Amino acid sequence: MQALRTPAAVVQTRYEKHGFKDFGLILSVFSLVYLAVCFPLGLCYNVLLVAVNLSNKVSMTMPDVYFVNMAVAGLVLNLVAPAELLSSAFTRWHAWEPSSEAYITLLILFNVSSLVVMYSATLLSLDYYIERALPRTYMSSVYNTKHVCGFIWGGAVLTSFSSLLFYVCNHISTKMVECSKMQNKEAADAIMMFIGYAVPAVAVLYAFALILRIRKESTPLDQDAARLDPSVHRLLLASVCVQFALWTPYYATLLAHTVAGAPGRAGDARHLPTYYFLRCVSKLLAFSSSVAMPLMYRRMNRNFSDRLRRLLRRLHCGERACSHERSAAQQVVT
């Protein structure tokens, strides 16, 4: 098996060879700033989001389940980010050089997380519409949403492995007849572009159109729809728009690679540094989605602060019931 030529092995040399040393310096600064600021924030707030909701399962709503799902995917991105950003593809002062196996593993985790994030945001939009249009059917209940999130992870793993075959076969010996027919990295990028971005984008636009239409129409069921926190609508719009805004540049680079092929393949290497710089910056933006989402949830969810205080009090009291909980229980009994 031949050594896998990862972007980390060639980007910095291409910057220096073609006189674009500033690109490498700027990318190094961006990467170190992300690791120093965004990485700890994302790790902390994603853990808090998961812990607070799982410790208050009774009060969880349908949107909470989707946000927990996106937070778990954000934690996976937080694990991938240091390994990627400390390699020579992103910084001059790199700490390690990923092997072929490590590169493929990071690729799988990144693709799975991206699919989970995009489809969680998409299904959150569709289920929010169902909750507003048919509040008494409980089609978008917490119980059903938990099973949907399980299917999202399963589907993301299966989809990422289909594109993984193209990536692997693009780097191994052509002696294997089966893989020699599949050595096409553009096909792998096309799969991720279509399944990971085009389909969710169309579904989100459709869901937003339905939500806007139902908000304009006054129906007797609107009073029942109020059982959802009104702030959920603002949180939904903000989170979905921010997620797509941060992931769009990355999928745009996949589209460019799919349509135009790898830059420099035809012998013109002038655009190589710019292409790899933009691709790395777009990946940094994708990593930053794991920070933006929990921060928005913390800021815009009205119940998060109360749930966090209850969790902290519970941790402080330990197994003993806190004084306010004992007094409340006594009042209920009397």
| Whole-number average pLDDT of the chain | 78
* Mean predicted confidence (pLDDT) in 168-183: 55
Whether 320 shows a pLDDT value over 80: the answer reads no
pLDDT digit string (tens) for 196-205? 999 999 999 9
* Mean predicted confidence (pLDDT) in 187-203: 89
Q: How far apart are alpha carbons 99 and 6 in whole angstroms?
A: 8
Q: Would you state the pLDDT for residue 106?
A: 86
> Distance between the two ends of the chain, CA-based, in angstroms?
75
Q: How far apart are alpha carbons 65 and 168 in whole angstroms?
A: 34
Task: For domain 7-302, give the fold.
Answer: Rhopdopsin 7-helix transmembrane proteins (1.20.1070)
The total number of residues written for the chain in this structure: 334
* Mean predicted confidence (pLDDT) in 257-262: 74
The phi-psi region of residue 245 (left if phi > 0; otherwise alpha if psi is between -120 and 50; otherwise beta) is: alpha
* Mean predicted confidence (pLDDT) in 3-23: 52
Whether 144 shows a pLDDT value over 50: the answer reads yes
Whether 226 shows a pLDDT value over 50: the answer reads no
289 or 212, which is more confident?
A: 289
Of the candidates 114, 40, 127, 48, the one whose C-alpha atom is nearest the C-alpha of residue 77 is 114
Q: Would you state the pLDDT for residue 303?
A: 83
Q: Which amino acid is at 289?
A: S
Q: How far apart are alpha carbons 231 and 121 in whole angstroms?
A: 16
209 or 167, which is more confident?
A: 209
266 or 332, which is more confident?
A: 266
* Mean predicted confidence (pLDDT) in 35-39: 94
pTM comes to 0.81
R_g over Cα of the chain: 23
pLDDT digit string (tens) for 80-112? 999 888 887 788 776 677 776 777 788 889 999
pLDDT digit string (tens) for 127-138? 888 887 776 666
Q: How far apart are alpha carbons 63 and 10 in whole angstroms?
A: 43
273 or 151, which is more confident?
A: 151
How many other CB atoms are found less than 10 A from the CB of residue 63? 25
Whether 42 shows a pLDDT value over 60: the answer reads yes
Q: Which amino acid is at 246?
A: L
* Mean predicted confidence (pLDDT) in 192-198: 91
Q: Which of 37-41, 152-156, 172-176 has the largest mean confidence?
A: 37-41
